[in-house]
């Protein structure tokens, strides 16, 4: 049968965070396509719409945490924080939506529940929670990598009579901690950021820690206006290009020194300087082998352990807070404001879940092996079902009845983190298999937006209707992603990068650890080779039906 259905729009984009907004702009303004964006929240912002917990901010410096598609936008916007805080990033994204009139193509408070590829029509049939159905030629996911919250299934969890919140779904009007007894479970990025702020507001705070963390002082403050006006704004083109070719998507130079080739004295002086300056510079500005060589890494890990021993006054707390079971940076590297200092406060206690595990949540608090902790509020800073969780919330079906949930049951498989074999015309912005969460996200997001936009423009120019990753190319990429990961220190910790935080999740390293610049070069080489590893053409079903009809 010949194709009967027509597309309602050229593209459906899922999500209105950085990825969805940028993709909408690119497709509508630069390619002239019709686009429908669906967004679960009632406004734009994605991550920065949902994560409103106290202390939430980004750990990329603000001047490089932005879109680059508009020079006027780069020049006009003035960040106030050195590290952008959640309200400021949200207002930036709201400004972008208003300035480029993006909201008119976004339907808010709408969740995509299913997306099925109709092979005969070469269309994606997209269904929402409101029962609407939209047919589109292309389906593009901008759902984010860290957007499905993980609230652990602790026995008795739902019996708690107080208030409980996950950091990634924080109430818009805030939480009043004044005089309250509060529990925070989790000491990842969200816990480390929120714990010092909650401690200042609460009557009493008990932190439940499963894994002790390395964290480096951020030395957060207001943005240096001279730096912004004289060094950043006149040089944005070069800075952005440097970020695009860098390892992590930030325009900085890594130190050339090796940690084991200097004296102990010199090494300590370099670490001290990095510690004083603060932020991720402590790592990239000190020695280039910290993240590559376990012995080198040990020197930096031990330096931080000593800082914890110096900062925290109670030796019992020191014993719990000093990380010993994984090297620095094998879990997400953290930067903080007053994290370890917070444990010197009289109103803060720490429970080490390694020796005193949670048995259950009761009506009045949390019971561990050693006793009962009565609290008014529980904050779950327990992270996310990262990279795959949000895909699995939708029923995604490709050709030949393929289901993404089944195809990824042993871990996500993709070609370049952009496409999946058997799912034609479906693109993922920062999907698993791309640098994504190991980079400054806007740089990686924009690279995908540009790459997808260029491919769609190429298809239009060449009158091609369908693109699909080839099975062999995908298998080779998955092997490459695993090979690169296996050579890194990331394999030395239980982290969400490996799915280790979610019981039963396959243990597979999900992002691409080869670096933003190297990845970009791969993507460019594939285009230069005529989109090597992708099959581009007209849909087989249509060609066959035209033949049958003598067309
Ligand atoms: O989540 P996490 P997050 N019982 O998974 C613990 C980005 N981000 O929301 O380490 C008890 O890192 C868990 O323990 P363990 C950033 O990419 C960025 O903090 O698994 N504890 C861990 O301590 C980040 O990496 C920014 O042993 C349990 C914590 O909960 C990612 O988001 C800010 C538990 C979860 O830490 C996620 O960060 C915020 C259980 N059952 C987030 N389950 C910035 O840019 C989990 N835990 C600064």
The string of pLDDT tens digits covering residues 117-127 is 999 999 999 99
Whole-number Å distance, alpha carbon 122 to ligand 1 midpoint, is 40
Three-class SS of residue 202?
strand
pLDDT category of residue 354 using cuts at 50, 70 and 90:
very high
Ligand 1 atom closest to the Cα of residue 211 is 27
Check: CB of residue 467 under 8 Å from CB of residue 460.
Answer: no
Whole-number Å distance, alpha carbon 56 to ligand 1 midpoint, is 13
Q: What is residue 538's predicted lDDT score, i.e. its pLDDT?
A: 83
CA distance 535 to 468: 5
Q: What is the DSSP string of 250-265?
A: S--PPP---GGGS-HH
The string of pLDDT tens digits covering residues 435-491 is 999 999 999 999 999 999 999 999 999 999 999 999 999 999 999 999 999 999 999
Q: What is residue 369's predicted lDDT score, i.e. its pLDDT?
A: 97
The vertex-292 CA angle with 290 and 297, nearest 5°, equals 35
Whole-number Å distance, alpha carbon 150 to ligand 1 midpoint, is 9
Establish whether residue 146 lines the binding site of ligand 1, counting it when its CB lies within 6 angstroms of any ligand atom.
yes
What angle, 0 to 180 degrees and rounded to 10, lies between the N-to-C axes of helices 441-461 and 18-25?
Answer: 30
pLDDT category of residue 2 using cuts at 50, 70 and 90:
low
Three-class SS of residue 515?
coil
pLDDT for 547 beyond 90: no
Ligand 1 atom closest to the Cα of residue 496 is 5
Establish whether residue 437 lines the binding site of ligand 1, counting it when its CB lies within 6 angstroms of any ligand atom.
yes
The string of pLDDT tens digits covering residues 96-115 is 999 999 999 999 999 999 99
Whole-number Å distance, alpha carbon 126 to ligand 1 midpoint, is 32
Q: What is the DSSP letter of 63?
A: G
Q: What is the DSSP letter of 84?
A: P
Whole-number Å distance, alpha carbon 379 to ligand 1 midpoint, is 12
Whole-number Å distance, alpha carbon 112 to ligand 1 midpoint, is 26
Establish whether residue 187 lines the binding site of ligand 1, counting it when its CB lies within 6 angstroms of any ligand atom.
yes
pTM for the complete prediction? 0.97
Ligand 1 atom closest to the Cα of residue 501 is 20
* Mutational pocket test of ligand 1: of 151, 198, 382, the residue with most ligand atoms within 8 Å of the beta carbon: 382
* Mutational pocket test of ligand 1: of 86, 166, 189, 325, the residue with most ligand atoms within 8 Å of the beta carbon: 189
Q: What is residue 337's predicted lDDT score, i.e. its pLDDT?
A: 98
Check: CB of residue 200 under 8 Å from CB of residue 180.
Answer: no
Tokens 């009565």 locate to 374
Q: How far is CA 108 from the centre of its chain?
A: 22
Residue nearest to atom 29 of ligand 1 (CA): 186
pLDDT for 36 beyond 50: yes
Q: What is residue 550's predicted lDDT score, i.e. its pLDDT?
A: 60
Whole-number Å distance, alpha carbon 332 to ligand 1 midpoint, is 9
Retrieve residue 91's tokens: 């207002």
* Mutational pocket test of ligand 1: of 165, 166, 170, 383, the residue with most ligand atoms within 8 Å of the beta carbon: 383
Residue nearest to atom 41 of ligand 1 (CA): 152
The string of pLDDT tens digits covering residues 495-524 is 999 999 999 999 999 999 999 999 999 999
Residue nearest to atom 18 of ligand 1 (CA): 189
The average confidence (pLDDT) of the chain is 96
pLDDT for 548 beyond 90: no
Establish whether residue 152 lines the binding site of ligand 1, counting it when its CB lies within 6 angstroms of any ligand atom.
yes
Whole-number Å distance, alpha carbon 493 to ligand 1 midpoint, is 13
* Mean pLDDT, rounded, for 416-425: 98
- Please provide residue 114's backbone torsions phi and psi, each rounded to the nearest 5 degrees: -150, 150
pLDDT for 1 beyond 70: no
Residue nearest to atom 37 of ligand 1 (CA): 383
Establish whether residue 385 lines the binding site of ligand 1, counting it when its CB lies within 6 angstroms of any ligand atom.
no
Establish whether residue 429 lines the binding site of ligand 1, counting it when its CB lies within 6 angstroms of any ligand atom.
no
Using alpha carbons, select from 142, 143, 198, 138 the residue that is nearest to residue 167: 198
The string of pLDDT tens digits covering residues 129-166 is 999 999 999 999 999 999 999 999 999 999 999 999 99
The string of pLDDT tens digits covering residues 192-206 is 999 999 999 999 999
* DSSP H helices in 432-539: 441-461, 471-486, 516-528
- For the chain, report the end-to-end CA distance as a whole number of angstroms: 12
Q: What is the DSSP string of 369-412?
A: TTEEEE-SEEEE---B-TTTHHHHTSEEE-GGG-BHHHHTTTS-
């Amino acid at each position: 049968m010949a194709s009967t259905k027509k597309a309602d729009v050229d593209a459906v984009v899922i999500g209105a965070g950085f990825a969805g907004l940028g993709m909408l702009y690119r497709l509508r303004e630069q390619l002239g396509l019709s686009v429908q964006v669906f967004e679960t929240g009632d406004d734009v912002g994605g991550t920065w719409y949902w994560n409103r917990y106290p202390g939430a901010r980004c750990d990329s410096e603000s001047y490089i945490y932005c879109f680059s598609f508009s020079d006027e936008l780069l020049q006009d916007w003035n960040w106030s924080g050195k590290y952008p805080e959640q309200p400021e990033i949200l207002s930036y994204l709201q400004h972008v939506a208003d300035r480029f009139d993006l909201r008119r193509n976004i339907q808010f408070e709408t969740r995509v529940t299913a997306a099925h590829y109709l092979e005969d029509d070469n269309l994606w049939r997209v269904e929402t929670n409101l029962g609407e159905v939209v047919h589109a030629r292309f389906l593009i996911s901008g759902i984010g990598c860290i957007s499905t919250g993980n609230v652990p299934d602790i026995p008795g969890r739902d019996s708690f009579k107080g208030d409980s919140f996950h950091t990634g779904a924080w109430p818009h009007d805030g939480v009043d901690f004044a005089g309250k007894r509060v529990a925070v479970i989790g000491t990842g990025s969200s816990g480390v950021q929120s714990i010092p702020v909650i401690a200042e507001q609460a009557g009493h705070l008990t932190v439940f820690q499963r894994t002790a963390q390395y964290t480096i002082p951020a030395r957060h403050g207001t943005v240096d206006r001279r730096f912004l006006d004289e060094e950043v704004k006149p040089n944005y083109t070069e800075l952005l290009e440097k970020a695009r070719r860098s390892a992590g998507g930030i325009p900085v130079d890594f130190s050339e020194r090796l940690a084991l080739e200097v004296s102990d004295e010199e090494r300590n002086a370099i670490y001290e300087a990095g510690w004083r300056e603060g932020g991720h510079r402590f790592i990239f500005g000190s020695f280039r082998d910290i993240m590559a060589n376990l012995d080198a890494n040990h020197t930096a890990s031990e330096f931080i352990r000593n800082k914890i021993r110096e900062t925290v006054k109670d030796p019992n707390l020191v014993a719990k807070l000093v990380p010993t079971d994984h090297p620095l940076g094998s879990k997400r590297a953290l930067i903080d404001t007053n994290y370890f200092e917070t444990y010197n406060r009289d109103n803060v206690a720490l429970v080490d879940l390694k020796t005193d595990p949670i048995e259950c949540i009761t009506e009045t608090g949390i019971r561990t092996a050693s006793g009962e902790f009565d609290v008014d509020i529980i904050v779950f800073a327990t992270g996310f079902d990262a990279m795959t969780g949000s895909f699995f919330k939708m029923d995604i079906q490709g050709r030949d009845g393929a289901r993404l949930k089944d195809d990824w049951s042993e871990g996500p498989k993709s070609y370049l983190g952009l496409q999946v074999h058997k799912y034609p015309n479906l693109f993922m912005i920062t999907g698993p298999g791309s640098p994504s969460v190991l980079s400054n996200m806007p740089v990686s997001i924009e690279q995908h937006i540009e790459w997808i936009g260029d491919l769609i423009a190429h298809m239009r120019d060449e009158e091609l209707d369908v693109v699909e990753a080839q099975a062999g190319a995908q298998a080779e990429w998955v092997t490459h992603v695993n090979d690169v990961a296996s050579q890194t220190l990331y394999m030395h910790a239980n982290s969400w990068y490996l799915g280790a935080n979610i019981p039963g999740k396959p243990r597979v390293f999900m992002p691409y650890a080869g670096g933003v610049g190297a990845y970009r070069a791969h993507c460019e080489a594939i285009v230069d080779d005529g989109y090597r590893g992708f099959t581009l053409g007209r849909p087989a079903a249509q060609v066959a039906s035209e033949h049958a009809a003598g067309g």
